[in-house]
Amino acid sequence: MTLVNAETSLETQRSYIDGRYVDSTSGETFETTYPATNRVICSIEQAGEAEIDAAVASAQRGFEVWSAMTATERGRILMRAVAILRDRNDELAYLDTLDTGKPVAETTTEDIVTGADVIEFYAGLADKLHGETIDFPGHGFARMRREPLGVCVGIGAWNYPMQIAMWKSGLALACGNSMIFKPAEVTPLSATKLAEIYSEAGVPDGVFNVVHGDARVGQALVQHPGVSKVSLTGEAATGKIVMSEAAKTLKKVTLELGGKSPIIIFDDADIESARNAALTNNFYSTGQVCSNGTRVFVQRGIYEEFLAGMAERVNAIPVGDPFDPETLIGPLVSAEHHDKVMRYMKLAIDSGARHVCGGEVPQDPELVGGNYVTPAVFADATDDMVFVREEVFGPLMAVLPFDTEEEVIARANDTPYGLSGAVFTSDFARANRVANSIEAGSVWINDYNYLPASVPFGGYKHSGVGRENGANAIEHYTQVKMIYSTLVPVERYM
Ligand code: NDP
C-alpha cells in the first residue's frame, strides 16, 4: 500500500473472515466520506447474517488453534505484527486521516504508535501469564489455571479507528482468545488492514476477523450465542444497550465510554503548564477524545491571568487540511457530528457564559465543504449549563472559577461520568488529596492524558466497566479454573 491522500478513492470494502476478504450476502452497502470535503471515498458491504455466523464459526476454529499454541509462540507472532505495524506506520496513519479527518501530525505520531505499543506490551506479557498452586499439606493441592475466554467481540468508536482495534485485539489475542472486530460505520477503512497484518505476521486464520456494518451488525454479534465476551468503545448510551443485551446470554463485557472530565488548576500551579494541558486536552483530535478535560476549573486568584491572551493563542492554532503536516485541527468526523457540535456551540453562546473565542464555521473557501469548526473557549461557565454537563465531543472548552478545594472536588465529581481528571498545583499533599478524591479511572497530577501501554485505562461510573491496557486488564480477558488434586483416598462418609 502506498500513502493515500485527500484525492484517494478506494474500491468497495468487504469484511475479512478466516484470513480472506469475503463478499456480503446482505445486498446492502454504505459509504464512507472524507471529512475535509465530504466526498465519498468508497462503499462498504454491510455484513449479513451469513457473514456474522461465518465470522463466529471461523473465530471458534481460530480459537482452537491459537489457544493450543504455546504462549511464547503467540507472543512471538504478535511481536512480528508490531514490527510490520511500525514499518507501515505512515500509510496506516494516512488511511485513518482520510477516514477521520484527524491531522497527519497526530495520526503519524500517536494513533498507530500507541496501538503498536499496546500490542508489544501484551506480546511480551503473553508467556508470563501463569496460574498458581495452593498447597494443602497432608491432603493435596489446588492448581489455578488461567484460561482464555474464547471468541471475543470488539466494537470500535470512530475517533481512534486503528488504535482501538489494536488495543482490543492485542490484549484479547495475547491472552489466547480470538476476536471479531466491528469498526464504526463512519471509519471502516483501517481495521481490515490490521487483519491483513496479523495474517502476514502468522496469526492463524479466524483469530482476528473484521465484519463491517452498522449497529445491527454490532447487535447481532452481542447477541450471538457463540461469543463469550464483548468489548465496546462508544457512548455511554450504547454501553447500556450493549450491557443489557450481553446480559441475556451472560457475556462478559468491557465498556470504554464517554466522559466530561475535570482539570482543576489551583492558584499555586505552574500556569503555563496548566494552560498547555487544558488547550491540548480540549482541542487535540478536534476535541474528539473521550478522556479530554472539558471542564477546566481555575481558582479565583489566577482566573483572569489564566484567560489572559487565551483568544489570541487559540485563534493562532492552525485549522485546515489534515494532510498538511502543519495542521493541528482538522474537520470533525462527519457532517452529522458537525451538526451536533454546532448545536452545542449555540447552546454555549445562548447560555450566558463569556464567549472568549471560536465556535464558528470557518469561511475560508478551501474549508467550506468540510466539517470544520474553530476551537472555542467559554469562560464563567456554571455547572448547570448543558454544554458543561453533556459530552460534546468537539473543540469546546468550558472554564469555571472556584474558591476552595472542598468546593471544587464536589463540583468536579458532580457528573455521571468518571473517565479522567487532573489537578495542577505545587502543593504535594493537596495534589494527592485531590487526586484521591476525583471519581475517575485515570487522574494526573500536573499532567494530562499521558497513557503508556503499561497503565490501566478505563472509567468509573457511566464512563465504563473494566479496563484496557496494563497487566491487570488480563483479568477481563481470562478466567481462572481451579483443579484440585488429592494425595489421599476419599474417606467413607455414607
Ligand atoms: P457509538 O456509541 O455511537 O458507537 C460505538 C460503536 O458501537 C460503533 O461501532 C457503533 O456502530 C456500535 N453500536 C451502536 N449501537 C450498537 C448496538 N446497539 N449494539 C452494538 N453495537 C452498537 O460511539 P461513537 O462511535 O459515536 O464514538 C464516540 C463515543 O465513544 C464518545 O462517547 C466517546 O467518549 C467514546 N469513546 C470512549 C473511549 C474510551 O476509551 N473510554 C475512547 C474513544 C471514544 P455504528 O458506527 O454503525 O453506529
How do residues 193-223 score in pLDDT, each as one tens digit? 999 999 999 999 999 999 999 999 999 999 9
Test site for ligand 1: of 233, 332, 340, most ligand atoms within 8 A of the Cβ = 233
389 pLDDT higher than 70: yes
What does the pLDDT read at residue 460? 98
Euclidean distance between the first and the last CA atom of the chain, given in angstroms as a whole number: 72
**Closest C-alpha among 86, 80, 135 to residue 115:** 86
Ligand 1 mean position, distance from CA 290 (Å):
11
- CA 478 to the chain's CA centroid: 21
Distance 2 CA to ligand 1 centre (A): 29
Residue nearest (by alpha carbon) to ligand 1 atom 35: 234
Check pLDDT > 90 for residue 83.
yes
Residue nearest to atom 16 of ligand 1 (CA): 215
Catalytic residue, from 196, 256, 391, 405: name it: 256
Q: Encode pLDDT of 316-360 as tens digits.
A: 999 999 999 999 999 999 999 999 999 999 999 999 999 999 999
User: Within 6 Å (CB) of ligand 1, which residues are found?
Assistant: 155-160, 182, 184-185, 214-215, 218-219, 222, 232-235, 238, 241-242, 256-259, 290, 391, 393, 419, 459, 464
- Give the ligand 1 atom nearest the CA of 158: 25
Instruction: Give, to the nearest 10 degrees, the angle between helix 71-87 and helix 191-201.
Output: 130
Cβ of 266: how many Cβ atoms within 10 Å? 22
Q: Indicate whether 264 pLDDT > 90.
A: yes
Pick from 11, 395, 432: which is nearest to 188 by CA? Answer: 11
Query: Region 282-290: what's the mean pLDDT?
Result: 98
Q: Which of 51, 290, 391, 405 is catalytic?
A: 290
> Where does the pLDDT of residue 1 fall: very low under 50, low under 70, confident under 90, or very high at 90 and above?
low
Is 312 catalytic? The answer is no
Nearest-atom number in ligand 1 for the CA of 237 is 2
Atom of ligand 1 nearest to the CA of 182: 9
168 is annotated as an active-site residue? yes
**Residue 110, all three cell numbers:** 500517536
Give the Å distance between the CA of 487 and the centre of ligand 1. Answer: 52
Edge-to-edge order in the sheet of strand 208-210: 20-22, 15-17, 208-210, 178-182, 151-155, 229-233, 252-256, 464-465
Quote the CA–CA distance of 85 and 208 in Å, as a whole number: 15
Q: Give the pLDDT band of residue 124 (cuts 50, 70, 90).
A: very high
Residue nearest to atom 1 of ligand 1 (CA): 234
- Measured in Å, residue 23 CA sits from the centre of ligand 1 at 25
If you take atom 5 of ligand 1, which residue's CA is the nearest one?
A: 234
Residue to mutate (ligand 1; options 114, 166, 181, 238; most atoms within 8 A of CB): 238
DSSP conformational letter for 111? I
pLDDT, position 200: 98
- Name the residue of 15, 235, 255 whose CB sits within 8 Å of the most ligand 1 atoms, as the mutation to test its pocket: 235
Q: What is the pLDDT of residue 2?
A: 79
Q: Which residue has its alpha carbon closest to ligand 1 atom 14?
A: 215
405 is catalytic: no
> Is the pLDDT assigned to residue 434 strictly greater than 70?
yes
Q: 51 with 15: CB under 8 angstroms?
A: yes
Q: What is 161-207 written as a DSSP string?
A: HHHHHHHHHHHHHHTT-EEEEE--TT--TTHHHHHHHHHHHTPPTTS
